[in-house]
């Protein structure tokens, strides 16, 4: 979400975080569980949306300082008006539950009383892949002379409708798409390190930015 582009819309409480990586911790029963560590750098309120002016209520968060020369001039003027340093990443949250004003800084403490979160990220790009890896096709016989191993096979009909149906599973680009993982349990909130530890895996590569919000289904 580079500065100057359309901001995302997520309801309830939420912050922008950076995926550090995965590790393992022991839970209260002594079981070893996989967890993901997310770094939450200061999220600054760079704008507000009001019902009278915009028709809805929301706050706009930004994180990671950006060089003014890298920000589009119309957007740079908004930062100057709000007296806030330009940011690289922005996020709009509707009906934000926490009272805040432009210029306020939010940290990982926002999730102190939250047990489950939803995380949105961009999956790892796999490049151009065939149907076996992309869709899990079984493929043909592996024996010598079969002449059919990992091909996709026929895709269309001859007489009717004489075309390939939309949505047919074929080879193509894999990954590098928006993905949401719901109901991840919050294992630890470290106010000193400003990190959030959640159980399980989250989309994206290490150092990739994520949208962390209060779980909509479990809260």
pTM of the model as a whole: 0.82
What is the per-residue pLDDT for 122? Answer: 95
Q: Return d(Cα 176, Cα 136) in angstroms, integer.
A: 18
Q: Return d(Cα 202, Cα 123) in angstroms, integer.
A: 9
- The answer to whether the beta carbons of residues 189 and 109 sit under 8 Å apart is yes
- The answer to whether the beta carbons of residues 195 and 37 sit under 8 Å apart is yes
- The answer to whether the beta carbons of residues 48 and 58 sit under 8 Å apart is yes
Which residues 6+ apart lie within 8 Å of 39 measured at CB?
17, 18, 19, 20, 193, 194, 195
Superfamily holding 9-125+178-214: Translation factors (2.40.30.10)
Q: Return d(Cα 215, Cα 61) in angstroms, integer.
A: 19
- Tens of pLDDT, residue by residue, the chain (219 residues): 555 444 454 457 899 999 999 999 998 899 999 999 999 999 999 989 989 999 998 999 999 999 999 888 888 888 888 889 999 998 898 888 888 889 899 999 999 989 999 999 999 999 999 999 999 999 899 899 998 999 998 888 888 889 999 999 999 999 999 999 999 999 999 999 999 999 999 999 999 999 999 998 875
Q: Return d(Cα 179, Cα 183) in angstroms, integer.
A: 14
DSSP string, 73-102: HHHHHHHHHHT---EEEEEEEET-SS---T
Domain boundary assignment for the chain: 9-125+178-214, 126-174
């Amino acid at each position: 979400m580079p500065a100057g582009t359309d901001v995302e819309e997520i309801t309830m409480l939420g912050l922008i975080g950076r995926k550090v990586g995965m590790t393992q911790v022991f839970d209260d029963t002594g079981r070893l569980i996989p967890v993901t560590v997310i770094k939450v750098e200061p999220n600054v309120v760079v704008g507000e949306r009001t019902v009278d002016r915009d028709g809805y209520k929301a706050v706009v968060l930004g994180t990671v300082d950006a060089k003014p020369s890298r920000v589009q001039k119309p957007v740079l003027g908004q930062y100057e008006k709000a007296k806030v340093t330009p940011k690289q990443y922005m996020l709009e949250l509707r009906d934000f539950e926490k009272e805040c004003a432009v210029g306020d800084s939010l940290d990982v403490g926002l999730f102190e009383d939250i047990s489950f979160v939803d995380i949105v990220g961009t999956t790892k790009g796999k490049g151009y892949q065939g149907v076996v890896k992309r869709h899990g096709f079984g493929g043909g016989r592996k024996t010598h002379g079969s002449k059919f191993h990992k091909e996709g096979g026929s895709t269309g009909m001859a007489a009717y409708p004489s075309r390939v149906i939309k949505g047919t599973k074929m080879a193509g680009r894999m990954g590098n798409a928006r993905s949401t993982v719901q109901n991840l349990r919050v294992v630890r909130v470290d106010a000193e390190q400003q990190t959030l530890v959640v159980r399980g895996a989250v989309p994206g590569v290490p150092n990739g930015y994520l949208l962390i919000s209060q779980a909509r289904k479990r809260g």
